[in-house]
């Protein structure tokens, strides 16, 4: 428990520093935050490669591990030249190109038949999608300010992702420990309870409402609500669905680990396991909140 608390404190402090860095002038802070996301993505990608090995699904580890860098580069190039709606499309096109590159590379080797080479290529791309492509959407959110006329508004967007995920996880854990009761999905994650899931929903909505209160009370951000016709109950709904997605993401990773017969995705975070164990609830949530931004 002491290790878990110590690691949690370091994680919270690091995330807080990264958010504060976004106030640095000349977009320096944005690129510092990019580096932070890129490091997390690459560690998670490495852990996913290990899980694929445990699942007996052969992949091209080098290309799966390096995909976050490729995805970052095409995201930054498209952010500078295209509208926000097309940036995600370019990422998907980039993924398709990556698949062709992996397949071509495998076909040039003589280690197996064509069917096996196709499976390796497909497994590699699946390992690129989860977690790298989905979590890499954080880069787009981080630079979305260029498409909105509100100073430092991306800080609010980043806080939205973090607040919904963090409070969903925290309240689900606390309520589940205190109330207990029937299990949510005993075959996938035996420690999760229905009471904890309900607590998580409350936490997700609370996180969204905290961000709404922040935007409402910051003069340079308040016009964002008025200009786009956004009310408090919109945030409540976003937080509710975001919490559902967070908990689904948590269960998704738990299902992968159970099938791979491992307790944690890694051991880089003492008391917490691997990086993938820490961002599992956030991975799908990042993609979901990017879609919300695209609609705005």
Cβ-Cβ contacts under 8 Å for 210 (sequence gap 6 or more): 163, 167
Q: What is the mean pLDDT of residues 58-63?
A: 90
pLDDT at 170 over 80: yes
Residue closest to 155 by CA, chosen among 169, 170, 172, 143: 143
Q: What is the pLDDT of residue 3?
A: 78
- Taking the C-alpha atoms of residue 80 and residue 87, their distance in angstroms, rounded to an integer, is 10
Residue closest to 200 by CA, chosen among 170, 161, 160, 162: 170
- Taking the C-alpha atoms of residue 53 and residue 49, their distance in angstroms, rounded to an integer, is 6
- Taking the C-alpha atoms of residue 180 and residue 280, their distance in angstroms, rounded to an integer, is 22
pLDDT at 296 over 80: no
pLDDT at 87 over 70: yes
pLDDT at 1 over 80: no
pLDDT at 199 over 70: yes
Cβ-Cβ contacts under 8 Å for 47 (sequence gap 6 or more): 265, 266, 274, 275, 276
Q: What is the mean pLDDT of residues 245-252?
A: 95
Q: What is the mean pLDDT of residues 235-251?
A: 96
pLDDT at 222 over 70: yes
Under the banding of pLDDT at 50, 70 and 90, the label for residue 198 is very high
Q: Do residues 273 and 264 touch, judged by C-beta distance below 8 A?
A: yes
Q: What is the pLDDT of residue 150?
A: 81
SS3 22: coil
Under the banding of pLDDT at 50, 70 and 90, the label for residue 57 is very high
Residue closest to 131 by CA, chosen among 290, 267, 279: 279
Burial 119-130 (b: 16+ CB within 10 A, else e): bbbebbbebbeb
Q: What is the mean pLDDT of residues 148-176?
A: 90
Q: What is the pLDDT of residue 158?
A: 93
Maximum average pLDDT range among 85-89, 129-133, 191-195:
129-133
Q: What is the pLDDT of residue 45?
A: 95
pLDDT at 46 over 90: yes
Domain count for the chain: 1
pLDDT at 217 over 90: yes
Q: How crowded is residue 42: how many other Cβ atoms within 10 Å of its Cβ? A: 18
Residue closest to 2 by CA, chosen among 281, 274, 276, 272: 272
β partners of residue 40: none
Range of the domain at 273: 2-295
pLDDT digits 0-9 by tens, 9-29: 899 999 999 999 888 887 898
Q: What is the mean pLDDT of residues 222-235?
A: 93
- Taking the C-alpha atoms of residue 46 and residue 275, their distance in angstroms, rounded to an integer, is 10
Environment class of 66 (CB within 10 Å of its CB; exposed 0-12, middle 13-18, buried 19+): middle
Q: What is the pLDDT of residue 294?
A: 85
Q: What is the pLDDT of residue 278?
A: 92
Helix 114-127 to helix 28-54 angle, to the nearest 10 degrees?
140
Average pLDDT, the chain: 90
- Taking the C-alpha atoms of residue 296 and residue 235, their distance in angstroms, rounded to an integer, is 13
Residue closest to 285 by CA, chosen among 254, 255, 244: 244
Q: What is the pLDDT of residue 271?
A: 80
Choice among 36-50, 240-254, 267-281 with the minimum mean pLDDT: 267-281
Under the banding of pLDDT at 50, 70 and 90, the label for residue 131 is very high
Q: Do residues 211 and 159 touch, judged by C-beta distance below 8 A?
A: yes
């Amino acid at each position: 428990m002491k290790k878990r608390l110590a690691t949690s404190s370091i994680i919270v402090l690091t995330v807080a520093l990264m958010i504060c860095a976004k106030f640095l002038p000349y977009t320096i802070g944005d690129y510092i935050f990019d580096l932070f996301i890129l490091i997390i993505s690459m560690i998670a990608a490495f852990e996913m490669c290990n899980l694929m090995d445990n699942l007996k699904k052969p992949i091209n580890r080098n290309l799966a591990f390096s995909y976050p860098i490729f995805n970052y580069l095409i995201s930054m190039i498209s952010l500078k030249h295209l509208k926000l709606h097309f940036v995600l499309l370019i990422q998907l096109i980039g993924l398709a190109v990556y698949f062709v590159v992996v397949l071509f590379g495998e076909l040039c080797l003589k280690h197996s038949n064509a069917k096996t080479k196709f499976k390796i290529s497909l497994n590699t791309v699946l390992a690129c999608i989860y977690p790298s492509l989905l979590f890499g959407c954080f880069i787009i959110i981080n630079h979305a300010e260029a498409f909105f006329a509100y100073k430092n508004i991306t800080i609010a967007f980043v806080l939205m992702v973090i607040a919904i995920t963090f409070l969903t996880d925290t309240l689900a854990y606390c309520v589940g420990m205190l109330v207990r009761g029937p299990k949510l999905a005993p075959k996938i994650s035996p420690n999760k309870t229905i009471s904890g899931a309900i607590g998580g929903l409350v936490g997700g909505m609370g996180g969204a409402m905290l961000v709404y209160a922040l935007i409402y009370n910051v003069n340079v951000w308040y016009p964002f609500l008025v200009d786009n016709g956004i009310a408090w109950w919109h945030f409540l709904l976003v937080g509710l669905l975001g919490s559902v997605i967070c908990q689904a993401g948590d269960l998704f990773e738990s299902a992968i680990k159970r099938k791979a017969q491992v307790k944690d995705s890694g051991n880089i975070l003492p008391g917490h396991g691997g990086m993938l164990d820490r961002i599992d609830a956030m991975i799908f949530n990042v993609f979901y909140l990017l879609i919300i931004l695209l609609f705005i």
